[in-house]
Every structure is written in structure tokens, then in C-alpha cells.
Copies of this chain bind each other. A is one copy, B any other.
Amino acid sequence: MIKHEIAVIPGDGIGNEVVPAALNVLNAAAEVHGGLSFKFTEFPWNCDYYLKHGMMMPEDGLRTLQSFEAVFLGAVGDPAKVPDHISLWGLLIKIRREFEQVINIRPAKYIQGIVSPLVNPNDFDLIVVRENSEGEYSEVGGRIHKGEDQMAIQNAIFTRKGTERAIRYAFELAAKRRGHLTSATKSNGIFHSMPFWDDVFKEVSQDYPDTRTASYHIDALAAFFVTRPQIFDVIVASNLFGDILTDIGAAIMGSIGIAPAANINLNGKFPSMFEPVHGSAPDICGKGIANPIGQIWTAKMMLDHLGHQELGQQVLDAMEATIFSGIKTPDIGGKASTQEMTDDICSRLKKL
């Protein structure tokens, strides 16, 4: 019997609705597998926790999480309660950083049965590898002067190590897929960091002579995500560019509610974290209509990471079958509740 110990942080808003849904699916998957079980330990760290305790997680929160194999997270943030940069940097980004989850992987692909806003969404299937530890998301900087003279300086920091490991990871991934890698740059406008990014990309590409490569400026690349997403296989991008591209990726799939993500620790010293692309969506919270697909697909990525690729594929198949059968939440054009959709996925999974 394999037993996985998972730390679960539902977080804010619909995190509390879609995380339980995904845990049901994981339990169903374990049942299907037979020799597998999960122990989920839940942590109530979110904006309400902050309002009570003045911090997003306890002092020893990271130490507590560290003993788990993986962290399964819903959504963090509720600006009506706590300013975003406090809630996110106090929990989500803190875990990414402290647990050295240096790579963020986010697939986007056409799923039959979900209406895309694109006339031709057919058959796109891409993965964005996002640098997850540095770049434009940096605490370095600040403000000087007051009033009219005030200015803010923000430092983006690109290290050789951070840039290279993201690019290398993407090359390895491309080699396992269709052998094509696109680099997101903006070296025509961003003067220092992006030419550096290009140099590292060029250098690392020497080690992968069989991989076809392309390099686009982020403005053109974002536009291509809309006009011809089919041309992409793997895309490697900085922290900010990866963030932007993956939301567009979710949009062209048909809903931000379905996009999954994994924050990967590469050195094995800390757990990886699995959290969907969507946020806490306070506007639809409490109605029971949140799309569980983003969280369930994220659970599939966690299964892959834990070594259960076959089971992961089954979850994906069940999920796609449910969608195709028309059992869908309102955001993707159906009338089903979170619960109904989840139940259908679980029962399909058990029948596989």
C-alpha cells in the first residue's frame, strides 16, 4: 500500500468549494488504483486567518508543510479582506520561494465540449514553463520622495542559474513532447534582462540540437496565442510573461476555471505545490457553481508528480468525458453544480 501525505490549503473563496471536489476525485482515483491511499491534512490559512492572527500562516507554517510530500492549494486572496500583495506574498508566493519551487508548469489545450472564444481553437496543445522564483517578481526596490517627486523603482532580477534551469527544464520537456520550444522575450524593449534571457536561451539550445526553437517578443507571442495557438508546443517564459501567457491560455481554452498548474521543486529538498491558475473568485463564491476542473486537473498533475502517470491520465480522461457529455458548470456553458460535475467524474473514473 502506497500512502501519500498531502498538505491541503483550500485558501479563500471558491478554493473551499473546488478543493473538496478535487479531493473526492483523488480518493476515487486511489480506490481505482487499489494499492494507493491519501492522507490529507487541512490547513485553514487564508485571509480570514490573517484577520484573526495578523499573518497568513503561523510562524512555523513552512516547517509544518515541509514534512508533507506535496502541497495541494486552492486559491489565495480576497482583496475585500486583505490587500493582495499581503495575502499572496504571505502565503502563495512565500511557499513558492521558500520551498524553491522554481518552475511553474501550466498546460493549455483544446478540450472538446468547452466553447472557446476562438473561431478555431482546434487541437492546440501547449505547455508554458514559467520561471517561478525571480525575474519581475522581486522584493527588491522601493519608493523615494513624497508627493510630486515620488517615484517607485522595481528591480527585476534574472540570475544565470534561475534563467538557465527554467530554460533547460523546458528543453527537456519539449524533447518528451513534439520537440519544439518557443522562448518569450522582449529584448527589443526591455534593455538588460531580456537580452540576457536571449543569450542564455541561445547557449542552452546548443545542448539540444534536435529541438526546433523559436523566439518571439511577448507582445507578438500573446497575439499568436489568440490567432494561432496551434503553432506552439512548449513555451518558456519569465515569471511575469509566464503569468500573462497562461491566463491567455486559460481564456482560449474557454474558461479561467479549468487551467491547472504545478509549482515544482527540483532539488527534492521541499514539497512541490499544486494550485490552479484561477483565483478565489469572491463573486461566485458560495453558490456551488465554481468549476472544479482547474482544481481536478491540478490534482492530475499532482498524481503525475507522485509517479502515477497512468492514473493521472485516467483522471484526465474521466474529466474530458464528463465535459463532453455536457455535465458542465455555467462558466463553460452548462447548468451543473460543482458537486454534480465532480460526482460524474468520480463515477466515470470508477467505471474505467
Min CB distance, A98 to chain B, in Å?
Answer: 16
Which of A191, A220, A226 counts the most chain B CB atoms within 10 A? A191
Check: A51 CB closer than 8 A to any chain B CB.
no
Q: What mask results when residues 236 to 252 of chain A are scored 1 for a CB within 8 Å of chain B, else 0?
A: 00011001101110111
Tell me which residues from 70 to 117 in chain A have a Cβ below 8 Å from any Cβ of chain B: 77, 84-85, 88-89, 93, 115-117
Residue among A120, A160, A220, A223 with the highest chain B CB neighbour number at 10 A: A223
Chain A stretch 135-172: residues in CB contact (< 8 A) with chain B: 136-139, 141-143, 145, 147-161
Q: Which of A219, A220, A243 has the most CB of B within 10 A?
A: A219
**A337 interface contact, C-beta 8 A:** no
Say whether A267 faces chain B, with CB atoms less than 8 Å apart.
no
In angstroms, Cα B239 to Cα A191, docked, is 13
Using an 8 Å CB-CB cutoff, how does the interface string of A176-191 with B read, 1 for contact, 0 for none?
A: 0000000000111111
A 177-215 contacts with B by CB, 8 A: 186-197
CB of B240 within 8 A of CB of A226, answer: no
A36: chain B residues within 8 A (beta carbon): none
Given contacts A118-B118, A227-B251, contact A154 B188 (CB under 8 A): no
* Ranked 5 nearest A-B pairs via Cβ: A152-B196, A154-B193, A219-B247, A141-B192, A223-B251
Residue of B nearest to A194 (CB): B154
- Nearest CB of chain B from residue A5's CB, rounded to whole Å: 30
Whether, in the assembled complex, A57 has its beta carbon less than 8 Å from a beta carbon of chain B, the answer is no
Could you say which residues of chain B place their CB within 8 Å of the CB of A156? 136, 153-156
Contact pick for A193, options B77, B118, B149, B153, CB 8 Å? B153
Q: In the complex, which residue of chain B has the Cβ closest to the Cβ of A143? A: B196
